[in-house]
Amino acid sequence: MKNIKFFHFQMVFLISLLGITIGSCDDHFEDQTLAQQDKLTLSISQDTLSLVESLFTNEISFNWTTGTNEQSGKAIQYTLALDHFDGDFSNPIVILADDLQQTYNYSITYGDLNQILLERGYESDISYALKARIMAFIGNSEVSDQYAEVTFEVSLFKPITQNLFMVGDATPNGWDIANAIEMQSQSGQRGVYLYQGPLSIGNFKFAVSRETCWCQDFYTRNEMDPDLMVYNEGGSGQDLQWSITDLAPQGEEYLVKVDLLTLTIDISIVAQNIDEPPFSLLWIVGDASESGWNIDTPIAMEQSTDDPFIFSYEGHLSTGNFKIFAGPLGDWCGEWYRPEMDNMELTNGLVLQNSGCTSDTNWLITSATEGRYKITLNTEDNTIAFEQVMVYIIGDGGANGWDIATPSPMNYQNGEYVFSAALGANNATGEFKFSKFTGDWCDGDWINAATDAQPISNTNFIITHGCDGPDNKWKLQNGEAGNYEIRINLDSETMMITQI
Residue 33 · residue 140 · CB < 8 Å? no
Residue after which a domain boundary falls, among 209, 240, 271: 271
Largest pairwise CA distance in the chain: 122
Q: What is the pTM of this model?
A: 0.48
Sequence letter at residue 320? G
Q: Are residues 396 and 362 in the same domain?
A: no
pLDDT at 357: 78
Peptide bond into 92 cis (omega under 30): no
pLDDT at 236: 64
Radius of gyration of the chain (CA): 39
The bridge status of strand 105-109 relative to strand 127-138 is unpaired
Q: Are residues 90 and 142 in the same domain?
A: yes
Q: How far apart are CA 221 and CA 238, in angstroms?
A: 9
Q: Are residues 208 and 223 in the same domain?
A: yes
Peptide bond into 328 cis (omega under 30): yes
The bridge status of strand 461-465 relative to strand 474-475 is unpaired
Q: How far apart are CA 388 and CA 320, in angstroms?
A: 16
The answer to whether position 477 is within a domain reads yes
CATH number at residue 131: 2.60.40.10
Residue 112: count other Cβ atoms within 10 Å of its Cβ.
Answer: 15
The answer to whether position 22 is within a domain reads no
> How many domains does one find in the chain?
4
pLDDT at 37: 57
What is residue 313's DSSP assignment? E
* Full pLDDT tens readout for the chain, 500 residues: 334 333 333 333 333 333 433 333 343 334 444 544 578 999 999 999 999 887 888 999 999 998 888 877 788 899 999 999 999 999 999 999 998 988 999 999 999 999 999 999 999 889 999 999 999 998 777 788 899 999 999 999 888 888 999 999 999 889 999 999 999 887 667 889 999 989 999 999 999 999 988 888 999 999 999 999 999 888 667 889 999 999 988 778 899 999 998 999 999 998 876 778 889 999 999 999 999 999 999 999 999 999 999 999 999 999 999 999 998 899 898 899 999 899 999 999 989 988 777 779 999 999 999 999 999 999 988 999 999 999 999 999 999 999 999 999 999 988 899 999 899 999 999 999 999 999 999 999 999 999 999 999 999 999 999 999 899 999 999 999 999 999 999 999 999 999 99
CATH number at residue 356: 2.60.40.3620
Q: Are residues 412 and 319 in the same domain?
A: no
pLDDT at 188: 62
Residue after which a domain boundary falls, among 129, 155, 181: 155
The answer to whether position 4 is within a domain reads no
The answer to whether position 103 is within a domain reads yes
pLDDT at 275: 77
The answer to whether position 231 is within a domain reads yes
**CB pairs under 8 A, 24+ apart, for 400-408?**
401/426, 404/435, 404/438, 404/439, 404/440, 404/441, 405/438, 405/439, 405/440, 406/438, 407/435, 407/438
pLDDT at 38: 76
The answer to whether position 230 is within a domain reads yes
Q: Are residues 429 and 364 in the same domain?
A: no
Residue after which a domain boundary falls, among 155, 188, 213: 155
Sequence letter at residue 255? L
Q: Are residues 262 and 293 in the same domain?
A: no
Q: Are residues 178 and 109 in the same domain?
A: no
Q: Are residues 408 and 495 in the same domain?
A: yes
Q: Are residues 429 and 396 in the same domain?
A: yes
pLDDT at 12: 35
Q: How far apart are CA 494 and CA 299, in angstroms?
A: 20
Cα 170 to Cα 230, 243, 246, 438, distances in angstroms: 19, 8, 11, 45
Q: Are residues 128 and 101 in the same domain?
A: yes
Q: Are residues 363 and 397 in the same domain?
A: no
Q: What domain range includes position 314? A: 283-388
The answer to whether position 487 is within a domain reads yes
Q: Are residues 136 and 221 in the same domain?
A: no
The answer to whether position 449 is within a domain reads yes
What is residue 359's DSSP assignment? -
